[in-house]
Chains A and B, each alone.
Chain A
Amino acid sequence: MTVATVRRTFLAAAALCAAGALHAQAVVGQAAPPLQAMDANGKAVNLADYKGKTVVLEWVNPSCPFVKKHYGSGNMQATQKAAAGQGVVWLTVSSTAPSHKEYQKPAELAAWMAEQKAASTLVMDDSGAVGKAWGAKTTPHLFIVNPAGQVVYNGAIDSKPSANPADIPGATNYVNAALGELKAGQGIGKAATTPYGCSIKYAS
């Protein structure tokens, strides 16, 4: 191996690492990326602990108009409650950087969730490590992990990308549909969709 080859290999490896950091993704049909973080009370949350259960991940930022669309209308909470009724675990993840003006402290965010009557566990991902590992792009962005630990859904909350709450009644709720199909033991019709919303305000 010549010096040039070594150098090339090193550069390629470095490029791969960089790409891995930025472009890791939760891919439908593959094992879910890890999720290890704290909840609002500083208690550890680990996706691995939910093995055997269906888990929904939802990225949140209360300042985002798209999040407001689905919480203000009660659409997100209704989806959470329907999931809880089927024994599904729902994790609401915040990857907003503490340096960003839209950041809310765990207590504030927990209070907002309570006010919204959200039926889910809040997960704080201030570093953005979880969000980047999953390839979470927008608020909201939703993922579903099946009891075997595989990603079975990655995408939008519904079929009408807009910030207008009036569009909700006419839209197909992809999460409801996928959970229904999972329960019925069917394949998921729309397993990958394009998430829409505000970009996640990651720490740079």
Chain B
Amino acid sequence: MNFHAVFTRWALALVLSGASALAPAQEQSAPVKSLQAAARLLAHAPEGVAPGKTLWLGLEIEHAPHWHTYWKNPGDSGLPTTLAWTLPAGLTAGDIQWPAPKKLPLGPMVNYGFEGTLLLPVAVPLPATLPPGPLKIDLQAQWLVCKDVCIPEEGQFSITLQATASAGAPLTAHAAAFAAAQAAKPLEGPSIKAEARVSGATLVVRAEGLPGGWRGREVAYFAADAGVIDHAQREQAEWAGEVLTLKVPLSPNRSESPTAMQAVLTQGPEAVALPVTLVGGWAAASSAPATSDAPPVEPWQPPAPSTGLGLALVLAFLGGLLLNLMPCVFPVLSLKAFALVQEEAGQRRIGAIAYTAGVVLSFVALAGLLLALRAGGEQIGWGFQLQTPWVVATLAALFTLIALNLFGVFEVALALPGHVAGWRAQAPWLDQAATGVLSVAIASPCTAPFMGAALGAALALPAWQALAVFASLGLGMAAPYALIAFVPALARLLPRPGAWMARVRTLLAFPMLATVLWLVWVLGVQTGIDGAVALLVLLLGVAYAVWAWTQGGWGWRLSAAVVLGAAGVWAAPSLHQPDGAAGVANAAAPKAQAAGWQAWSPEAQAQTLAEGKPVFVDFTAAWCISCQYNKRNALADAAVQADFAKRGVVLMRADWTLRDATITAELRRLGRSGVPVYALYKPGAAAPAQPVLLPEILSADGVRESLAATLGG
């Protein structure tokens, strides 16, 4: 084809459309048709063309098979379609609401565009002063339509609508087309956003707030900014919990350096609009290979040195004592109390020593593991073990077994192989040490009052000092039992063993099952309904297996093994992916924020503070009972909510149920290592803002006082 042919086609299109626009009998210009595409102007006014309503206009392009037009960033070649409107005075057309594009590979290049039927809608708000009468709308549109060759086309379109004084006849002839365009538009939301860092020749984009059903699935990245990325190279996507990290190759010929970018992510037919904020600037961009693609973490500044080792030891001991009162530890402790009553004085002493040793060694081991993982670059904090679904599942199975034992479904002696049972009888202290280990496993997520500061400080200390602090914590937790065991006067206060114990034993099974309920809920939050049900199936299998096993006989035992094996095999896929990488729905549920709360991010916080609004951040996790307690009591208190509203405080929630490096980094910055943490920021403070931290256990009055003290009035 030569230039003249193209020109003739243009001219023809212009003449045709112009002629039809002039035809007086016609309200609407005829479609502009070529061999490649047919385009027409559509109007849609579901509430009528009347003052205060919204008029929708759109250019519809029907592509011939295999032909395409382009998105706002066309990719390696091509041009975006442009719409220039001429509207009556007082009317303004909005931007094109682009549907999510497709990747159109062509040889070594990739374009972003559309095939099939496309509607590019714009919204036109009709002013309250809109006079009734004819409304003439003109559109000059240009589009480039390509297959293996490209043809620029354009058209003049016009339509005359009748405006009415009040809501008149709706204009809905093309409702389906506009509804489809609305559905194809990428989903927007305040929690959908991303932070990007430059790492060598790669843009590392960390996206959050994505739909729950997307987790673990393949996602495509479309940069809306031209001249930044290498469109033809595939990005690498990696899920960690509900956070998606994309490694997007930068164009070696990058011509633009935007700090606020836009992108569209697609997963199958679904799409979201993703605002991408660049952190750390473009200066780091280079063609040199990056040493690590992980976003750099600012060096950890230990919190104020006011918490020295001595004080940390004391605080940890007190914290340990208080752990005994935490709701998550209580069921285990009730067992402990039960054992105390039964034991003779001598046994009691050995038991207390064993229990103390179990608690202290477990705390030290956990802290050692935490320190080792952190040294290895893991972004984790205290309570990290419960961020792993299979640990939660294991604990749930353990508690189910304890409950069944208390109900008398099986006796431990019968369930264990003979030699183990004998060994256990000879060394009852093993039971005590095991109880200690169990208590720690359960207690660790409940960061009791005092412990937040102590543990944060502890982790900043040299390793041996940190371990000493955790040992002190364990000593504090075990202290009450040691005291009872070693002070006969206290022991005499204990009730005598008797028939009442059988009843209490059964009674204690219920708090155990309550703990199981909690763990199932935690796993459900982490992995979705599938994971929770898988755990329930596993628990059922465990319950049957332990009962059948103790019936004796190879038939029963075989059935126990088969049932447990089947349940395990069935459940494992839903439990086995750490961080719940399975593509399960509902996982974003905790982030789908309760009314009045929005998801926390450093950017949202900074932006809100810059707007002059105070911010209250609730660092929480599903597995943190204290957090849930505060959420349902002090934070849900009507007076507290009223005080928040009165002072215009923006409420943000940082959910740490699954691993989240950003939240871990922020906790470190605040000198804490676990949740709950409640931070209140005054607007206008120098960056990085230093908040007022509220206690770990909140009272409604306490929160209100802090609000009044920090924000005044």
Contacts and interface: CB of A to CB of B under 8 A. Distances in A.
B227 A193 contact: yes
A154 B150 CA distance: 22
Interface string B147-177: 0111110000000000000000000000000
A37 to B, nearest CB: 18
A72 B394 CA distance: 75
Given A100-B148, A199-B146, A192 B254 contact: yes
Interface stretch (B74-82, B574-582, B656-664): B74-82
A22 B150 contact: no
Report whether over half of chain B's contact residues are helix, strand or loop; otherwise say mixed: loop
Interface string B451-473: 00000000000000000000000
B3 interface: yes
A161 B79 contact: yes
B109 interface: yes
Interface size class of A (residues with CB under 8 A): 35 or more
B144 A163 contact: yes
A161 B144 CA distance: 11
A8 B30 CA distance: 60
Contacts of A194: 226-227, 255-256
B705 to A, nearest CB: 57
A25 B76 contact: no
A68 B253 CA distance: 25
Interface in B228-275: 230, 232-233, 252-256
A137 B109 CA distance: 7
Contacts of B1: 63
A198 B253 contact: no
Contacts of A197: 77
Contact of B142 (A66, A155, A162, A192): A162
B152 A65 contact: yes
Contact of A199 (B3, B109, B230, B254): B109
A151 to B, nearest CB: 9
Interface string A37-54: 000000000000000000
Interface size class of B (residues with CB under 8 A): 20 to 34
A163 B152 contact: yes
Given A23-B230, A25-B253, A198-B149, A138 B76 contact: yes
A155 to B, nearest CB: 6
A61 to B, nearest CB: 9
A65 B255 contact: no
Contacts of B152: 65, 162-164
A200 interface: yes
A82 interface: no
A47 to B, nearest CB: 18
B103 to A, nearest CB: 14
Interface in B1-22: 1-3, 6
Contacts of A135: 252-253
Given A137-B109, A193-B255, A202-B108, A65 B151 contact: yes
A74 B233 CA distance: 36
Contacts of A196: 77-79
Interface string A160-204: 011110000000000000000000000000101111111111101
A161 B108 CA distance: 21
A201 B150 contact: no
Nearest to A139: B77
Contacts of B76: 137-138, 199
A6 to B, nearest CB: 22
A28 interface: yes
Interface string B49-87: 000000000000000000000000000111100000000
Interface in A6-39: 19, 22-23, 25-28, 30
Given A19-B233, A163-B152, 9 more contacts: A22-B232, A65-B150, A101-B149, A154-B253, A155-B253, A194-B255, A194-B256, A199-B150, A201-B149
The 5 closest A-B pairs by CB, nearest first: A163-B152, A199-B77, A194-B227, A202-B107, A192-B255
